[in-house]
Structure formats: C-alpha cells, structure tokens
Amino acid sequence: MVKPPENLETFESFLKIVEALRGPDGCPWDKEQTHRTLTPYAIEEAHELAEAIEAGDEKEMVAELGDLLLQVVLHSEIGRQEGRFTIEDVLRSISEKMVRRHPHVFGSTEVSGSNDVLNNWAKIKAEEKAAKAASGAKVEIQTHFDIPRALPALQRAHKIGDKTNRVGFDWPDANGVFAKLDEEVQELRVEFAKIPNNKSALADDLKSALSHELGDVLFSTAQLARHLSLEAEQCLRDANSRFERRYFTMRTHVEAAGQDWAQLSDEEKEQAWQKAKRLTR
C-alpha cells in the first residue's frame, strides 16, 4: 500500500499522488494510459468545466478544475517516465510564453485596451512561428488556421472570423453578416426545393449540396454572433439547455395529466409544448 501525502493542499503533494498512480504499486488503469488514450478525457473535462461555470456551481467548478489539472499532471508524468519532458518543462514553457506575450505587463509596451492586447498577441505569436522556421527551409502554403481542429465547430468558426478580422478580411458590421446569412439561407432553400416528394432517401449529389449550403448557413451564423459580441457555441449550448428543460417539463405534465404521449395528435403535442414554454419562462 502506498501512503498518501499528509498535506493534500500543495502542488508538490499532487505530483507525488500522480507519480504513485503511475508507479510500480499504482493503479493498473492509470499505468496503461498514454498521451493518445487520455486525449478524449481532456476534451470531456473542459466541457464539464464549462457546464459548471454556466450553472454557477462553484463547488462543481472546483472539482472540474481539479479534473483538468489531473490531465495536465498525468501527461507530464507520462512525459517524465518516457524521458521526454517534465512538469517543470510545462511550467517553464507557459511561464515564458505569458511573459513574452504580455510586454505591456512585463515590459515597456503601452496598450489602450483589450484590442491592442489581442493584436500584440497575434503579432508576437507570428514572430515566434517565424523564429522557429529553419533557415532556408522550404516554404509551404498554409492550408488551415492555427486553431485546434478538436474545438467544437461553431467555436472554431468564431475563431476563424477573429483571425481574418485582424488582417482586414471581414464584414464591416453585423448588417453585412445578416445579409450574407440571408443569402446563404436562400441558397439552401434552392437545394431544399430539389428534394423529391416521393423519395425518402436523398441522392448523394443532392445530399452533398445540402450539406455544403447548410454548412455555409452555420458558418455565417457564427460570424453574426461574433459581430454581435456573442459566442455562437454558447448560444447553442443555452438553446440546447432551454430545449431540454422545456421538453422534459412538457413530458412531465403530459404524464401527470394521465395522457399517453404516443396517442397525442400533433396539435395536442404543440399545445403541450407551448404550455411548457410558458411554465419555463
């Protein structure tokens, strides 16, 4: 049996706990994990933290922040065991980055607000990438933005818009985006009108066209949210929660009234839905 540290409130104690989990007498599951097998957990924990923040549940936030920290330390311990990197390397890397990218805090650069900070950040980041490039290395055409592909698609669309905005490729205001959204919806309607009434399965070419146009609608929607200083991802998360709350309120009231959901007409279901909307306001 491994004896746990006496003081469980220090970072050093947590490092020892994770080291023990991966040690000879540690946990079989923890010892089996690799960087790749742990990847889904990091994504999942980040989303669970977001849910705790949305709910305003500080106790749950503490728990989820701990779960995220576990992912950082587990990856670092795996790196240490493999002789590739340590938690000190991780801490040094992020500390150097924060100092380097905040010259207005740790240097003499002056800024007038958040926009200046973001512009400086992007400029410094570009300089860092240029410095990493080997002298005389082959120049390749960049085919995607430096944004994690694992991000939720709406969130990534928002960040793409931010990137292009900083180089002057953007709509001047929300009105321009709204006009573009209307245009994309109309193009989707054109493809939608091609769906045959007598066929349940769509032809591959029509399905591809619908997917293309629907994607353009979603991308434009994300840009509209960005121009309105909203997060499309958060808007959709809120809408999901709102729908779930209304749906289960509706089903609860239908069952409480002794009605069989499967036997209700479409009109009766709509009436139940509208009642649930009123009750959840």
Residue ranges per domain, the chain? Answer: 11-100, 107-132, 153-279
Q: Domain 11-100 adopts which CATH fold? A: Helix Hairpins (1.10.287)
Burial 48-85 (b: 16+ CB within 10 A, else e): bbeebeeeeeeeebeebeeeeebbebbbbbbbbeeeee
CATH of 153-279, one of 3.40.630.30, 1.10.287.1080, 1.10.40.30, 3.30.930.10: 1.10.287.1080
In one-letter notation, the amino acid at residue 124 is: I
Distances (CA, A) of 107 to 99, 100, 110, 198, 233: 9, 9, 9, 69, 35
Whether 11-100 shares its CATH topology with 153-279 is answered: yes
Q: Is the model's pLDDT at 223 over the cut of 80?
A: yes
pLDDT of 93 strictly over 90: yes
Residue range 140-151: average pLDDT? 75
Determine the distance from the C-alpha atom of residue 108 to the mean position of all C-alpha atoms in its chain, rounded to a whole number: 34
| pLDDT above 90 as % of the chain | 75
Is pLDDT of 142 > 70?
no
**Position 49 pLDDT exceeds 60:** yes
- Decide if pLDDT at 264 tops 80: yes
Give percent of the chain with pLDDT exceeding 70.
Answer: 95
Check whether 159 has a pLDDT greater than 90.
yes
Question: Quick check: 124 pLDDT over 80?
Answer: yes
Q: Is the pLDDT of residue 166 over 90?
A: no
